[in-house]
């Protein structure tokens, strides 16, 4: 049931073609936001946009690869051109990579993960912040991970990238706090997504191990992360910036 948490706001969501990104698009639209979706897979973006508009929301999409600064700028420029401003952004696009011991990790895997998970967020932040400065403020949420707060074996580049997302979040929050822009991050625990489906598929028993380390004893659904993101994007938390919110069933408290 909608509470109009984001009524009247224009929100950009990256990595919106599946998982947490798609769930957040649905949650924000349900809460009254106009949503601009971006990802690399046009077929999925088009289908989700059609679904949202058919349900009475206002949604559109831009095909973009956030690792390219020009693409990130194109998505932000589209939102501002189409709707007049940018009030919120969820920088969600990311990849997981191989589960491999650090001494066996290839340069290609490291560079791919860092390029998407760190450079992608950096590219988006630069353009989003510029648009929000022009528009008088806004709220940005970056998607980190519990892997940005703790270590997880055989995932060193992923862990490093998600720690870096937290660093970018805190730096931006501090720099723009007095200019009406809040920047926070969510740190999801084990959540059903293409990344975890891939990891679980190639590592039998991994999901059970992860759940055993989570006090709630289960894997989260993308919609559960999306609700936290929608709240952080809203005006309900005006004094909250530079925060990393674990949405992890208690994992980091262990």
pLDDT in tens, 27-80: 999 999 999 999 999 999 999 999 999 999 999 999 999 999 999 999 999 999
Structural domain that includes position 55: 10-245
First CA to last CA distance, the chain? 33
pLDDT in tens, 95-143: 988 789 999 999 999 999 999 999 999 999 999 999 999 999 999 999 9
For the entire predicted model, the pTM comes to 0.96
Task: Examine residue 110 and state whether it is found in any structural domain, yes or no.
Answer: yes
Task: Examine residue 115 and state whether it is found in any structural domain, yes or no.
Answer: yes
Q: Write down the H helix ranges in the chain.
A: 19-30, 42-54, 69-83, 107-114, 120-135, 156-176, 194-202, 206-212, 222-233
Tally of structural domains, the chain: 1
Task: Examine residue 5 and state whether it is found in any structural domain, yes or no.
Answer: no
Active site residue 61: no
Query: What is d(CA 187, CA 204) in angstroms, rounded to the nearest whole number?
Result: 24
**Residue 176: CB partners within 8 Å, gap ≥ 6?**
129, 132, 133, 183
Task: Examine residue 36 and state whether it is found in any structural domain, yes or no.
Answer: yes
Which H, E and C letters describe 181-235, residue by residue? Answer: EEEEEEEECCECCHHHHHHHHHCCCHHHHHHHCCCCCCCECHHHHHHHHHHHHCC
Q: Tell me: pLDDT of 1 over 60.
A: no
Task: Examine residue 252 and state whether it is found in any structural domain, yes or no.
Answer: no
Task: Examine residue 113 and state whether it is found in any structural domain, yes or no.
Answer: yes
Contact of 216 with 111, CB cutoff 8 Å: no
Q: Which of 61, 83, 110, 158 is catalytic?
A: 158
pLDDT in tens, 185-211: 999 999 998 878 887 888 788 889 889
CATH code: domain of residue 68 = 3.40.50.720
């Amino acid at each position: 049931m909608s509470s109009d948490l984001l009524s009247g706001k224009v929100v950009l969501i990256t990595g919106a073609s599946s998982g947490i990104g798609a769930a957040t698009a649905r949650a924000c639209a349900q809460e009254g936001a106009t949503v601009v979706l971006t990802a690399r897979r046009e077929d999925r973006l088009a289908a989700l946009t059609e679904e949202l508009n058919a349900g009475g929301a206002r949604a559109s999409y831009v095909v973009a690869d956030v690792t390219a600064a020009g693409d990130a700028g194109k998505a932000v420029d589209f939102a501002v051109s189409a709707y007049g401003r940018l009030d919120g952004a969820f920088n969600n696009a990311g990849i997981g990579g191989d589960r491999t011991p650090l001494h066996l990790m290839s340069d290609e895997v490291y560079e791919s993960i860092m390029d998407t998970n760190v450079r992608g967020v950096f590219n988006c932040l630069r353009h989003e912040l510029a648009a929000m400065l022009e528009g008088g403020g806004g709220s940005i949420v970056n998607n980190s991970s519990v892997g940005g707060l703790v270590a997880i074996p055989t995932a060193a580049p992923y862990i490093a990238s998600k720690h870096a997302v937290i660093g970018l979040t805190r730096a931006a929050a501090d720099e723009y706090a007095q200019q009406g822009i809040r920047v926070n991050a969510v740190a999801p625990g084990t959540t059903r997504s293409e990344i975890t489906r891939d990891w679980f598929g190639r590592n039998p028993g991994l999901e059970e191990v992860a759940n055993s380390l989570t006090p709630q004893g289960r894997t989260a659904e993308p919609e559960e992360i999306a609700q936290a993101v929608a709240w952080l994007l809203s005006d309900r938390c005006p004094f909250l910036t530079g925060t990393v919110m674990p949405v992890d069933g208690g994992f980091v408290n262990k």
